[in-house]
Amino acid sequence: MGFLWTEPLVLPDSLLRDEPAFDDLRTASAGKSVRACYLSDTFQRAEFTASATYEHEGFFAVAEPFLWVGNDSLYPPRWNGVRSEWQRAFFGFSGPSFSGYWGKSPASWGPPLADRLMLDGGNFPPFDCGEIAWHNSFVRVSCFFGVLDPRLISYDIDTSQGLQDRIVHQRFVNAHRFEFLLFHRLTLAWSEMVIYDRQGDGPEFAYFNPINLYYALSWAGTICAEDDFKWDLDATLVLPGLLLYGEFFVDDFQYVGYDTDDSQQFAVALGAMKTLGNATLTLDYSLATRWTFNSRLSTTKALYRGWPFGHPLGSDFQRFWARLEVPVNPGLRVSLGASLIQDGAGSIYEHMPYEGLPDTAGTFLLDPVQVDARAWASALWRIGIFSAGLTGGYRNIANWKHAQGQDISGPYFSCEAGVSF
């Protein structure tokens, strides 16, 4: 729950493990690690990651470059060949009551188990961002700021004068969050986010006040009304051997809804984690309406470098997902999983209809709907400082890329290896 350095406020002992997760070498406690991964899903690609962490008396620094090799049109910018990037490169501090960080980093906010709705850092390129938070045993208050990629609105060349004229809008995101822990079992959280742009100016400093209601400032006319506001409510309930969570996300939040397609859109995520003897069963359901995360202004779409930074499926979808994980011995875990995704033709990338000209095609699961059904099995090993994973599965995708009658099916697999010390 919370951002990168915020641990879940409470989890049952039966759902906690002392050792690092097999599939997460990117933690502050990892020290130094190297990881390689090959994926054969819709595209062929290989990934190589190295990370190093320094910690001393509450201060820490993380450096993690990674390298892609192969063919991948899923992760923007679309690429073939070799590319490299910093996955994490930041510093921060963690104390008894205050914590924070700044640098290039993924950011996640919401229940700790599922794909988050407001910010899901495992699914988009890292950007320059930071958080500062105050907390005690009952409440946590967080304030977040990020610099998104700029948007070039116009580009003109005057050949007679040899001059160029460019109008660039710099995009920002601010957010704040209040988390409350009740009875040591129930966590309730409210979050507000604003995506906005400024031409030739820096960020809006009023949004750095964690107590201000962002939309109230706009409603009062003190902030640009074109900024895009989002609200999010989530809850986590802990019972012996059971964890339940839910998240409700409202996009383009407004006190009074207008008769336009983009106002008051929503997304929902519900899930549970249950222990069954030594095994753990995880279930998750999520959906988003057609115009969620979208905007009539290209500068306020919930995109970074062309990639959704909310739920990785973007808008106009519903997904069912399940996994059963069984520890065979202290060094080996196996799991079985299945998912069903109904992805409507609506997209976060599509142009919204102009105000007064509503689109009558529908707001949820727009035809033709792509239906992606998958089942898989995986094995994860850890021996000392070494770890390895292997996943194999079968997929069947109907109406591939929303083309009626265009179906694909077949097996897929991935493998990875790492060392941490």
pLDDT in tens, 332-380: 999 999 999 999 999 998 888 776 656 666 778 999 999 999 999 999 9
Residue 277 burial class via C-beta count within 10 angstroms: exposed 0-12, middle 13-18, buried 19 and up? exposed
| pLDDT: which is higher, 113 or 75 | 113
- pLDDT tens, 82-119? 777 788 889 999 888 999 999 988 788 877 677 889 98
CB neighbour list of residue 345: distance below 8 Å, 6 or more residues apart = 316, 366, 367, 368, 369, 370, 402
pLDDT score of 385: 84
Quote the radius of gyration of the chain (alpha carbons, Å): 22
Map out the domains of the chain as residue ranges: 13-420
| pLDDT: which is higher, 268 or 254 | 268
Residue in the block written with tokens 């910690």: 55
**CB-based contact 290:315 (threshold 8 Å):** yes
User: What CATH class has 13-420?
Assistant: mainly beta
**CB-based contact 227:203 (threshold 8 Å):** no
Residue 172, both tokens: 């920002």
Where residue 117 falls (left for φ over 0; alpha for ψ -120 to 50; beta otherwise) is alpha
Distance CA 340, CA 49 (A): 30
Alpha helix stretches (DSSP H) within 153-259: 214-219
pLDDT score of 324: 96
Kindly report the pTM of this predicted structure: 0.84
Mean pLDDT of 231-236: 94
**CB-based contact 383:348 (threshold 8 Å):** no
Report how far apart, in Å, the C-alpha atoms of 142 and of each of 181, 209, 247, 252, 317 are: 14, 10, 18, 21, 30
